[in-house]
């Protein structure tokens, strides 16, 4: 294999690039510097190593692409990560907003056999606790993003994009306001002046920035008396 199984740094880069490729038009090293809280020189050196090992390629404008091998490894890593998140949340009672951080630490020590047994134990889940499809699965066909919802429409949250999970404060905000998969709420108002959405869950009202709403997957619902 091109990369050692215990190369935690490379595994983190693969996961970060994989996540970014799903939510960004292009992935560049400056984004990795920010996402991984690293220095430009470290990111540059690691990307060179990953190019050497056939995990990534660099486009003419320095955009980063996963190779077939890199994509396969990244999907395996994401699969492992999401299984651990599910186990921590559903069986150990770790708070929804912090399972990502704990899983990020634990996932690197799992052997393929443990991953296989864990998947069976969990019943081969289709998505992680945040609603992101586990590799091999897809989001609901009718899913749209919260940014596309119109005022007065009722919706159910189905997914919080992986790119938001690294912000523990943001995830805690989501959990506090029940902006989590399975919860229904109403978009009350779109406020252009502050670029925020005003949302209502039961009797509670809160605001959310436009940019964040672009990464919240929802399904439209008929209004109900409990929303």
Residue 227 pLDDT: 46
Confidence of residue 223 (pLDDT cuts 50, 70, 90): low
Is 60 exceeded by the pLDDT of residue 126?
Answer: yes
Helices (H), 107-222: 112-121, 168-176, 210-213
pLDDT in tens, 151-172: 999 999 999 998 899 888 999 9
What average pLDDT does this structure show over 105-116? 92
Report, as an integer, the average pLDDT of 8-27.
86
CB 10 within 8 A of CB 3: yes
Q: What is the CA radius of gyration of the chain?
A: 19
Q: Where are the domains of the chain?
A: 8-66, 71-121, 144-221
Q: Cα–Cα distance between 176 and 155 in angstroms, integer?
A: 18
Write the pLDDT tens digit of every residue in 88-104: 999 999 999 999 999 98
pLDDT at position 3: 41
Q: How far is CA 123 from CA 76, 131, 154, in A?
A: 18, 16, 31
Work out the percent of the chain whose per-residue pLDDT is above 70.
Answer: 94
> What pTM was estimated for this model as a whole?
0.85
> Which is nearest to 100 in space by CA: 116, 117, 87?
87
pLDDT band at 7 (very low <50, low <70, confident <90, very high): confident
Residue 199 has pLDDT above 60, yes or no: yes
Class of domain 8-66: mainly alpha
Averaged pLDDT, 168-196:
96
Determine the Cα–Cα distance for residues 53 and 50; give it in Å rounded to an integer.
5
CATH class of 144-221: mainly beta
Q: What is the pLDDT of residue 19?
A: 86
CATH label, 71-121, candidates 3.40.50.2000, 1.10.60.10, 3.40.50.720, 3.40.50.2300: 1.10.60.10
Q: What pLDDT is attached to residue 54?
A: 95
Closest CA to 157 of 137, 129, 134: 129
């Amino acid at each position: 294999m091109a990369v050692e199984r215990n190369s935690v740094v490379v595994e983190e880069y693969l996961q970060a690039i994989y996540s970014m490729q799903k939510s960004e038009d292009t992935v560049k090293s400056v984004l990795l510097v920010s996402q991984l809280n690293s220095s430009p020189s470290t990111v540059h050196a690691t990307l060179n190593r990953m190019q050497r090992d056939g995990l990534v390629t660099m486009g003419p404008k320095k955009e980063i692409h996963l190779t077939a091998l890199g994509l396969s490894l990244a999907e395996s890593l994401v699969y492992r990560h999401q299984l651990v998140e599910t186990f921590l949340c559903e069986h150990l009672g770790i708070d929804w907003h912090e399972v990502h951080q704990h899983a990020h630490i634990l996932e690197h020590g799992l052997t393929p056999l443990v991953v296989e047994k864990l998947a069976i134990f969990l019943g081969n889940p289709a998505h992680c606790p945040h609603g992101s499809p586990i590799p091999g699965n897809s989001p609901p066909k009718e899913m749209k993003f919260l940014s596309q919802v119109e005022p007065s429409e009722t919706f159910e949250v189905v997914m919080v994009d992986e790119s938001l999970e690294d912000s523990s404060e943001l995830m805690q905000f989501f959990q506090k306001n029940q902006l989590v998969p399975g919860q229904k709420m109403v978009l009350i108002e779109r406020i252009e002046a502050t670029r925020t959405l005003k949302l209502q869950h039961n009797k509670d009202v809160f605001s959310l920035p436009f940019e964040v709403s672009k990464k919240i997957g929802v399904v439209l619902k008929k209004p109900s008396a409990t929303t």
